[in-house]
Amino acid sequence: MSIHVEKIDDYRWRIPRFGSMRTDGLVFASAAMMKVLQQGKALQQVCNVATLPGIVGPSIAMPDIHWGYGFPIGGVAAFDAEQGVVSPGGVGYDINCGVRLLRSRLQFVDIQPYLPQLADRLFHNVPSGVGSQRSDLKLSSAQEHKVLSQGARWAVEHGFGRDEDLKHVEEGGCIDGAEPDLISDRALERGRAQLGTLGSGNHFLEVQRVDEIHDRQAAEVLGLHEGQITVTIHTGSRGLGHQVCDDWLRTMYQASRKYAIDLPDRQLCCAPLTSPEGRNYLAAMACAANFAFANRQLIAAWVRESFEQVLQQGPEALGLSLIYDVCHNIAKWEQHRVDGHQQRLCVHRKGATRAFPAGHADLPADYRQLGQPVLIPGDMGRYSYVLIGTAQAYDETFGSTCHGAGRLLSRHAAKRMARGHDIVAELASRGIIIRAARRGTLGEEISAAYKDVRDVVNVVQQAGIGKIVARLRPLVVVKG
Question: Which of 225, 403, 412, 421 does the annotation list as catalytic?
Answer: 403
Query: Is pLDDT at 437 greater than 90 in this prediction?
Result: no
> What are the pLDDT digits (tens) for 295-346?
999 999 999 999 999 999 999 999 999 999 999 999 999 999 999 999 999 9
Given a cut of 90, is residue 124 above it in pLDDT? yes
Mapped to the 3 state alphabet, what secondary structure does the chain carry? Answer: CCCCCEEEECCEEEECCCCCCCCCEEEECCHHHHHHHCCCCHHHHHHHHCCCCCEEEEEEEEEEEECCCCCCEEEEEEEECCCCEECHHHCCCCCCCEEEEEEEEEEHHHHHHHHHHHHHHHHHHCCCCCCCCCCCCCCCHHHHHHHHHHCHHHHHHCCCCCHHHHCCEHHHHCCCCCCHHHCCHHHHHHHHCCCCCCCCCCCEEEEEEEEEECCHHHHHHHCCCCCEEEEEEEECCHHHHHHHHHHHHHHHHHHHHHCCCCCCCHHHCCEECCCHHHHHHHHHHHHHHHHHHHHHHHHHHHHHHHHHHHHCCCHHHHCCEEEEEEECEEEEEEEEEECCEEEEEEEEEECCEECCCCCCCCCCHHHCCCCCEEEECCCCCCCEEEEECCHHHHHHCCCEECCCCCECCCHHHHHHHHCCCCHHHHHHHCCCEEEECCHHHHHHCCHHHECCHHHHHHHHHHHCCCEEEEEEEEEEEEEC
pLDDT of residue 1: 63
pLDDT for position 14: 98
Residue 349 pLDDT > 80: yes
| pLDDT score for 137 | 80
Largest CA distance in the chain: 64
Taking 80 as the threshold, does the pLDDT of residue 172 lie above it?
Answer: yes
Average pLDDT value over all residues in the chain: 95
Q: What is the mean pLDDT of residues 1-19?
A: 95
The pLDDT tens digits for 239-266 are: 999 999 999 999 999 999 999 999 999 9
Model pTM?
A: 0.97
Mean pLDDT in residue range 90-111? 97
pLDDT above 80 for 468? yes
403 is catalytic: yes
The pLDDT of residue 312 is 97
Is the pLDDT confidence value at 134 over 80? no
Domains of the chain, each with CATH number or no CATH: 98-332+360-479 (3.90.1860.10)
**Cβ-contact 221, 366 below 8 angstroms:** yes
Q: What is the pLDDT of residues 410-436, one digit of tens each?
A: 888 888 998 878 899 999 999 999 999
pLDDT at 456 over 80: yes
pLDDT tens per residue across span 189-245: 999 989 999 988 899 999 999 999 999 999 999 999 999 999 999 999 999 999 999
pLDDT tens digits along 387-411: 999 999 999 999 999 999 999 888 8
Segment among 17-31, 90-104, 191-205, 458-472 with least mean pLDDT: 191-205
**Could you tell me the pLDDT band of residue 36, with boundaries at 50, 70 and 90?**
very high
Averaged pLDDT, 445-451 = 90
pLDDT band at 131 (very low <50, low <70, confident <90, very high): confident
Q: What local confidence, expressed as pLDDT, does residue 4 receive? A: 95
Condensed to tens digits (0 to 9), the pLDDT of residues 140-169 reads: 999 999 999 999 999 999 999 999 999 999
pLDDT value, residue 438: 79
Across residues 357-371, what is the average pLDDT?
Answer: 97
